[in-house]
């Protein structure tokens, strides 16, 4: 008689790995033990594949149902769920797509997966009241040492491919021209939840530089400098004001003087 833990280890091997030695402990009345185990194996696979398909509908549409099924099988083999809630299941899909030889000719797929995972993160993140303009009432001497946090669950997604366009034309209700020129549209995207809507926003090079440095914890002074470096003629102050107005930021922090780098530019 196996111990409970031995039996459960065997059952996991049967369900995920196809090792049916646990069948020795299953009653066979009317249906062979291996077939009974298969009921659970199929149920687990269907549930987890459905969970991946819910998170990655565009990836699934791009590769087709059969190929997605194969990807999902490989995903389960490499990254079975570790937690009893499925919101965190699927985070390794981009890395898997980059690693599977069968997908090597589709080098934009990992970024599509990153975009879909970023949408999942944004949806399940806590609601935080966006920072208003009044929060910017900081003494001038401290302005260069200010840092801004993006809303929780936001992702900045740089890509060499027009991922937002790929995402857009692969929505079920899209009816327009669905051609995508993969050589055009290298861009950084901001994936962010505004109230209850997950938004995918295309950023200009200056916006991308501004928000990327802020997301990395750099000071506002450095981030504005990076924005101007990215686009000579950009009005960095207006970009910042626009993102404050649309509610991109969650918190403003005044960093201690020792942590803040030397001011490189005044605030707008």
Residue 4 sits in the site that holds other proteins (CB under 8 A): yes
Residue selected from 123, 185, 231, 263 as contacting other proteins according to rule CB under 8 A: 123
| Ranges within 61-90 binding other proteins (CB under 8 A) | 80-87, 89
Longest dimension (CA), the chain: 81
- The alpha helices in 64-142, defined as continuous H runs, are 65-78, 93-99, 109-123
CA–CA distance, 159 with 252 (Å, rounded to integer): 28
Query: In angstroms, how far is the first alpha carbon of the chain from the final one?
Result: 75
* Under rule CB under 8 A, residue 36 binds other proteins: yes
Would you count residue 137 as binding other proteins (CB under 8 A)?
no
Cβ proximity to other proteins: between 86 and 230 the closer is: 86
What is the rounded radius of gyration, in angstroms, for the C-alpha atoms of the chain? 24
Which range of residues in 4-12, 105-113, 133-141, 249-257 is near other proteins by CB under 8 A?
Answer: 4-12
CB of 23 to other proteins, least distance (A): 9
Long-range contacts formed by 179-182: CB under 8 A, 24+ apart: 182/108
Residues 227, 129: contact at Cβ < 8 Å? no
Residue numbers at the binding site for other proteins (CB under 8 A) = 1-5, 7-9, 11-13, 15-16, 25-27, 29-33, 35-37, 39-40, 43-44, 47-48, 51, 80-87, 89, 123-128, 193, 196
């Amino acid at each position: 008689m196996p111990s409970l833990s031995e039996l459960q280890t065997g059952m996991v091997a049967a369900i995920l790995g196809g090792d049916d030695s646990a069948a020795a402990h299953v009653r066979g009345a009317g249906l062979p033990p291996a077939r009974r185990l298969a009921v659970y194996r199929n149920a687990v696979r269907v549930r987890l594949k459905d969970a991946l398909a819910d998170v990655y509908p565009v990836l699934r549409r791009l590769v087709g149902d059969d190929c997605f099924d194969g990807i999902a099988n490989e995903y389960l083999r490499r990254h079975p769920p570790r937690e009893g809630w499925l919101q965190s299941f699927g985070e390794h899909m981009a890395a898997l797509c980059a690693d599977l030889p069968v997908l090597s000719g589709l080098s934009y797929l990992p970024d599509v997966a990153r975009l879909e995972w970023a949408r999942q993160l944004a949806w399940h993140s806590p609601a935080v009241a966006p920072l208003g303009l009044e929060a910017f009432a900081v003494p001038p001497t401290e302005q260069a040492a200010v840092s801004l946090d993006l809303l929780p669950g936001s992702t900045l997604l740089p890509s060499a491919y027009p991922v937002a366009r790929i995402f857009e034309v692969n929505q079920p209700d899209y009816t327009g021209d669905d051609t995508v020129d993969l050589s055009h549209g290298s861009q950084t995207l901001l994936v962010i939840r505004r109230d209850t809507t997950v938004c995918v926003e295309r950023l200009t090079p200056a916006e991308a530089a501004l928000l990327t440095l802020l997301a990395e914890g750099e000071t506002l002074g450095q981030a504005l400098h990076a924005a101007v470096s990215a686009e000579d003629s950009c009005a960095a102050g207006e970009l910042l004001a626009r993102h404050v107005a649309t509610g991109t930021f969650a918190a403003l922090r005044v960093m201690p003087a020792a942590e803040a780098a030397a001011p490189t530019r005044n605030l707008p």
